[in-house]
Structure 1
Amino acid sequence: MESNIFYTSNRNIIKNIWLIPIVLFTVACGWVIARKGIAIGAVLLVLPFVIGFVALVFFRPRVGMYAYLIYCFLMPTIGKHIPGVQFGLAVDGLLFLTLFAVLFFRGDKFKFRHINVDLFWMAVVWFIITILQLGNPERPSILGWVYEMRSATLYWILTIPLALLLFYKKSDINLFLTIIIVLSFLGAVYGVKQKKYGPDAAENRWLEEGPKKTHVLFGKLRVFSYYSDAGQFGASQAQLAIMCIILAVGPYTQKRKIAYLVAGLMIMYGMIISGTRGALFGLVGGGFTFLVLSKQIKILLLGIIVGGAFLGVLKYTTIGNDNAEVRRLRTSLDPKDASLQVRFINQKILADYIRTKPFGAGVGTMGMWGTTYNKDKYISQIPPDSLFVKIWGMYGIVGFLIWFGIMMYIMGKSAGIIWKTRDPVLKNQLVSLCSGAAGILLCSYGNEVLNAMPSSAIVYISWALIWLSPRWDTPEPKVIEIKEEESIY
């Protein structure tokens, strides 16, 4: 009797009916690819993996947060190699996907009272202030506000509560540190490759579109690795370098200390070849924070002496001037540097412009989104050159003081939590997180760093882990009072 894949030998009963939709779907995919091109084929190829990832996040929301962290490192280079696609929106997508998974699918698994902390409510305050900026008298573009708002407050108010809810295990701090150190180390390695062999075709195309004027100076490439630009690369490398060095002096095995030290030195070299002068202050700020948090006067004095000697060599000698990166780094300590003077001039112009605008010119009026969506605003033509200056210009002196006050409160509260930590390993990890965040905050005075990836994701999660740390600390020994029995005699 005759048979085939669809019918049994009696020709009456369908046996493999599930093959019919698969065949139809395959034919449809072939037709779409033939009509729309190979790009659609790539999308269809990736689609099943995307669906699988979404399902995984809904079952394990922590996966979404770690994917967000990793993606923040890789997003810029993906955008350079596949132009024309807004890959930055995937950051929003990952955060909202994780949020939906927590709220609507796994809400019964998490204790939402854990987000009722000052760290979260400060993010809420800044979010509300940003929303109120929609009513700014200068009437800036709504689109400019939307795009700027994402980096100014949206990622902040989404990352903090998600980290507080999802990173409830002590092992999460170890995994977090491992991920950012490995990705930063690989970033330094890729940067060395970029310096030795030059950028690839996609990166050269990106340079020719405009960034070449700031990334190729006197014929020397300012290495940017797979980060958004050399400024972000250098600052992030400075942050992770000081973190690794702090971990290298922690209470770990000799093998682990060596691994941290090697990673720190390699990442520091990545910072140097970036040609980012402001990154030096990431090391200085992070190192000084470490010395203060150590609460040991001898170490503090020794650190100040060593750090002062290092800065003195840079400022008052010509040692290392044969190296282009060292020469550029040395200019960061020159108050007469031409670039620094231009920044001072821009800040004076901005100060005159917003003198009568205590609430600033509005969110999205400065920087890239200002020149894109607010060309009619005078302030959009003033380069901010600094996150501090940008917030001052957009939010005014009132907004700037609130933002700066929040930053100082977070750093002070972090120090208080760390000083009370008893577990030596945990304390060392927290010191590295706090010092790295302090370094990035100081770097933001010279560049827009804290509002860019991956630095913002690292800092926000670092804050959340510091706030979570008391639950992982060694319990405080209980003091039992023994009452002396009254004498019966």
Structure 2
Amino acid sequence: MYRQVARRNTVIYLFMLLWVVAIPVIAYVSSMDAKFSIVVAGGIIGLALAAVSAINYRAGYYIYITVALMVHVPERMSRTAIPVGVVMDAFLLLVLAGCIFDRKRADVPKIDYYKDPLLLVLYLYTAYLLIQCFNPNMFNIQGWFIYIRVYIRNLIFLFITMKVLSTWKDVYWFFKFWLVISTAAALYGCLQQAVGLLPFEREYIAMNPDKFKTVMIQGRARIFSFMADPAAFGVLMACGAIICAILITASKQVISMPRKVLLLFIIAVHLLALGFSGTRTAYVMLPVGLLLFFLVNLHNRNTLIAASIFTFGMLAMLFGPFYSSPTIIRFRTAFMGSQDESLNLRDVNRHGIQPYIYSHPIGGGVMTVGNDGVTYNPGHRLAGLQPDSGYLRAVLELGWIGLIIVCLYAYMGTHYAIKNYFNEEGELNRLLLIGIAAVQYAIIVATYAQEAGGLIETAIFLNAILGITIRVRYNHLKTK
């Protein structure tokens, strides 16, 4: 108890000191060049957040998530490339250090890190990635080092999640936090759609031809909020909408009517933002994820009502007399097909590369496909080939052996989540667990058409819910 009070006082004193120091610094920075002042101000704020993360690793965990989701805003404002990966690595290492030196709680069940089936598959995948360093089909090892660094970052975040979110109280707090930041992103996306992209956002997009191609389609801008790109934004909006739609089916004793009204508002904002993102893969995620929830809850009256409303809304969007909205037209192409040349090109690429897949069981090597291949392995057979699919990228870079491991890992994660749902008794806990399973399943399906799980923002959320899934499994084992 004394240590907790001392730690809290230390944090308060540190904040007071930072505010005292910040007053003259901010005044000085304000007189500088606008571009340079943004960089300096970002550095000051970053140091303050880093100090808090070093003292309280639980707060640092949420700071890391927030920074990872919003770090692209100062990059666009300064029109300067910020080493995003280095910033994320620094915050994550601070959080990891806090976890290592924190005393273990006796009331929290221990995870069997050396026998858990899901973690064993993860270790196998990690070993396979390390072996890829010696892949003879890879021209340059530099891309492998970059990929491994990102992978280790995600791996560390997964294990930190199992440490931080160790009880249901921690899980509740995480979902509240995530819905708040996700709703903020959705509201900002709706604002972008209403008033247009802000000047610094338009200038940043104009400076990057690759960004321009993905944002501007058919004369209109795809909305990305403060995320990295419209694809990441759309996928996270679909995940938030799925979870809220599942929670709204709870009984009045679990979630009161005022909170259900709030959930309805959150769902509406997420759906609007999802439509404005123009991400067709995310459009498909919504019915796919909710379908899993409907199948396991057909006995629930609220579920049947929600399923009926959702089905009616889908039919109205697909077949209703709405022909002037580009958003609705793009939504329909995700389900009813179109003459979009980009979709046809994807099919041609997949069929044309099949002989290479059959003849390379260990793949062409990490970071050899698409733009990554052009950058790190120029002249490679796969360089410049756009996979537009997480599974296609996996089989091209890691071979069909790697694809089997990836699919096994995805299956194990969903299996754990569904099994946790049937082992849980509390209604709210069951809804959260089936929500996790629905999101995981939706991302698995979405990965067929897009590299949904490989996006930075999506990877954070996916690893967070995977960590919750593993932790809940061992909490159940203790209660038996």
TM bracket (short chain)? 0.7 to 0.9
Is 2:93 the counterpart of 1:69?
no
Q: Which amino acid is the alignment partner of residue 198 of structure 1?
A: G
**Correspondent of 1:360 among 359, 363, 370:** 363
Q: 1:240 to 1:38 in 2, by over 3 A?
A: closer
The residue aligned with 1:118 is: 117
Secondary structure class of the residue paired with 2:111: helix
- Give the number of the structure whose alpha-carbon radius of gyration is greater: 1
Deviations 1:436-487 (A, max 9, x none): 22222222222222111221111111121122235667997x9xxxxxxxxx
Aligned match of 2:440 in 437, 451, 472?
A: 437
Distance 2:278 2:39 in 1: 38
Structure 2 match to 1:217? 217
Given residue 127 of structure 1, which amino acid in structure 2 is its aligned partner?
A: T
Q: Please give the residue correspondences for 1:288-437 in structure 2 after superposition, counting only pairs within 5 Å.
A: 288-294=291-297, 296=299, 317=319, 319-338=321-340, 339-437=342-440
Within 1, Cα distance between the matches of 2:188 and 2:313? Answer: 27
Residues 144-198 of structure 1: CA deviation (Å, up to 9, x unaligned): 11223344x3233212211111222322112211122111211111112211222
Give the residue type in structure 1 aligned to 2:111.
Answer: H
Note if contact 2:138-2:368 (Cα within 8 Å) is conserved in structure 1: no
Shift in CA distance, 206/346, structure 1 to aligned 2, threshold 3 Å: farther
Matched with 1:181 is 179
Match of 1:3 in 2: none
| Deviation, structure 1 residue 136 | 0.9
CA contact (8 A) 1:367 1:384 kept: yes
**418-427 or 89-98: bigger deviation:** 89-98
Letter of the structure 2 residue corresponding to residue 329 of structure 1: F
Aligned residue among 463, 468, 471 for 1:468:
471
**CA 1:470–1:109 in 2, change beyond 3 Å: closer, same or farther?**
closer
| TM-score for the superposition, normalised by structure 2 | 0.83
Q: Which amino acid aligns with 1:354?
A: I
Give distance in 2, aligned partners of 1:129 and 1:246.
Answer: 37
Matching of residue 143 in structure 1 with residue 142 in structure 2: yes
Segments of 5+ residues of structure 1 without an aligned counterpart are 1-24, 479-489
What is the alpha-carbon distance in structure 2 between the residues aligned to residue 115 and residue 159 of structure 1? Answer: 18
User: Taking structure 1 as the reference length, what is the TM-score of the superposition?
Assistant: 0.82
Q: Distance in 1 between matches of 2:51 and 2:255?
A: 38
CA distance in 2, matches of 1:278, 1:85: 28
1:74 deviates by: 0.7
- C-alpha contact 1:149 1:363 (8 A) present in aligned 2: no
2-structure distance, mates of 1:88, 1:360: 26
Alpha-carbon shift at residue 56 of structure 1 (Å): 3.3
Alignment-derived partner of residue 88 in structure 2: 91
CA deviation string 1:354-373 (max 9, x = no partner)? 32101111111123322211
Cα shift at 1:38: 8.6
SS of residue in 2 equivalent to 1:158: helix
How far apart are 1:403 and its partner, in Å? 0.4
Mark the CA change 1:173 to 1:341 in structure 2 (over 3 Å): closer, same or farther: same
Q: Which residue of 2 aligns with 1:277?
A: 280
- In 2, Cα distance between equivalents of 1:311 and 1:255: 26
Change (3 A) 1:273 1:54: closer
Deviation per residue, 1:319-361 (Å, 9 max, x gap): 3222110001111123453322111011112213232101111
Q: Runs of 5+ in structure 2 lacking a partner? A: 1-20
Partner of 2:191: 193
- Count, aligned residues: 444
Amino acid at match of 1:445: Y
Whether the 8 Å CA contact 2:223–2:230 is kept in 1: the answer is yes
What is the percent sequence identity of the aligned residues? 20
- Which residue does 2:158 correspond to in 1? 160
SS in 2 for 1:450: helix
Distance 1:243 1:70, change over 3 A: same
